[in-house]
Every structure is written in C-alpha cells, then in structure tokens.
Amino acid sequence: NAGVTQTPKFRVLKTGQSMTLLCAQDMNHEYMYWYRQDPGMGLRLIHYSVGEGTTAKGEVPDGYNVSRLKKQNFLLGLESAAPSQTSVYFCASSYFAGPYEQYFGPGTRLTVT
Amino acid sequence: ILNVEQSPQSLHVQEGDSTNFTCSFPSSNFYALHWYRWETAKSPEALFVMTLNGDEKKKGRISATLNTKEGYSYLYIKGSQPEDSATYLCAFPISGGSNYKLTFGKGTLLTVNP
C-alpha cells in the first residue's frame, strides 16, 4: 500500500503560469481533500470531494480548481499562478465522512515567482 | 468560521519530562475532535479521533482526554523522548454529515532536548 501519494514534490512557477497537482490514494477512500499550509496559518482546506465525480469548496478555494474523475485521484489546478499561492500543498483522504482519520500525502512545495 | 485554539504555541522540555498541552474548541454542536502528530519534513499522522465526552485515548506514552461540555481536550506525553519532537495539531469538524470538514488549530510545537 502506497497510501496517499502526491506529484510533483517540488515546483517553481512564474506568475501567470498554470499547473496541476496530482493526488492518488490506493485505500479505496471516498473522501479526498486539498489543504495548503502557510507559516503561522496552519492547515487550511482548499477544496474537497465526497466521492467520484463530486467536488466542493473549502475555506480558501479562490484561484484553484479541482476534479475527481476517478475515485483514487484528486487533481488540484492553478490556472494562473500568483505569488500568494506559494505554499506547501497537502492532499488527504478518509474512508468516509465523519470521525475517521485523514491520511495525508507527503506534500508539494510550490513557489510562484 | 469556528476557532480552534491550541496552547502553548511551543514548548521545550528535557528528555524524561512529562508534558501536556491544550486544544480548545466551540462546545456547541460537537461531532468529534482529532489529534495529529506532524514531524518536520513529514506529513501529519493521525493520533486519535475522540467522539464522546469523558473519552480517554492512549497510544504508547501519549494519551488524550476530552471534555465536550467545556470545549477542551488535553494531550499528555509521559516521559518525553527526543523522537516525540513534532508539532501536535488538533482539528474540529466545522460541519457534520456528508460535509464533514476539519478546521485545524495552529499546533503546539514540542521540542524534547536530550
């Protein structure tokens, strides 16, 4: 079991460029989440998905889009990167809604110059 | 937005010391309380999910208690070791049901000196 994996691990973008972050889980979890982690801010939820084909906004969704075409994958897209999106991005998954553990991926460090 | 407060922000202890820190959350509409351990350069790992008032959970030298009526949870580490150095996060769901989403505290950074 690989658990939750994220691709890429690091990326540097110029302002205005686009990119997609890929999250994959092999635990057959229904729920998947994208968070960003910034110094002094803690983990903040960007978007989440309650199942294949569904997505919903979290606390800080602006500037991001997501898709969940397959149950095991959750993609986070930045259409036009801004320096404010410089952050570490974590994907997580959980078995279902409710008091279940969330399993986190290793993170993607993104720098937008 | 519901606030999840953790204290202290950071803590330095000596190897062998026992320590504890606090997570405060709104006491209304309680669903659950999550604790995570986050080592530097790694990703958060779940420690406990607590659901009942008076709940106590234990994993090795780490234990947690829950008071839903007054809105706090304590995390205890007995006989701290250098490998316990990490940030300890608590998280509280801002809604239940199918929209179960966690709000995370900013964490308590524990450093255990050998």
* Interface touch B106/A42, C-beta < 8 Å: yes
B107: left (phi over 0), alpha (psi -120 to 50) or beta: left
**In sequence order, what are the beta bridge partners of B10?**
B109
Residue B72 CB partners (closer than 8 Å, separation 6+): B22, B23, B24, B25
Is it the case that residue B10 has pLDDT exceeding 80? yes
Is it the case that residue A6 has pLDDT exceeding 90? yes
pLDDT at A21: 98
**Cα→Cα distances B46→A1, A3, A15, B17, B26, Å:** 17, 13, 35, 23, 21
Average pLDDT value for chain A: 95
Size of interface A-B (CB pairs under 8 A): 57
Enumerate chain A positions whose Cβ falls within 8 A of a Cβ in B.
31, 33, 40-45, 48, 50, 56, 58-59, 90, 97-107
Give pLDDT tens digits for B61-107. 999 999 999 999 999 999 999 999 999 999 998 777 777 889 999 99
Question: Which residue from B51, B89, B101 is facing A48, i.e. has the nearest CB?
Answer: B101
Quote the minimal CA–CA distance from B42 to chain A in Å: 6
- Higher-pLDDT residue of A86, B3: A86
Contact residues, chain B, for A99 at CB < 8 Å: 31-32, 34, 49, 51, 93
Q: What is the DSSP letter of B83?
A: G
First and final C-alpha spacing in chain B: 40
Rounded Cα distance between B100 and B102, Å, is 7
Interface test with A, best of B45, B100, B108 (most A CBs within 10 A): B100
Rounded Cα distance between B5 and B2, Å, is 10
Do B23 and B90 touch, CB atoms closer than 8 A?
Answer: yes
pLDDT at A104: 97
Tell me the torsion sign for CA atoms A24, A26, A30, A35.
Answer: negative
Rounded Cα distance between A37 and A10, Å, is 14
Question: Which residue from A40, A42, A107 is facing B43, i.e. has the nearest CB?
Answer: A107
pLDDT at B2: 63
* Interface touch A42/B51, C-beta < 8 Å: no
Q: What is the mean pLDDT of residues B16-45?
A: 93
A40-68 burial, b if ≥16 CB within 10 A, otherwise e?
eebbbbbbbbbeeeebeebebbeebebeb
pLDDT at A32: 96
Give pLDDT tens digits for A91-102. 999 998 888 999
Rounded Cα distance between A104 and A84, Å, is 23
* Interface touch B43/A45, C-beta < 8 Å: no
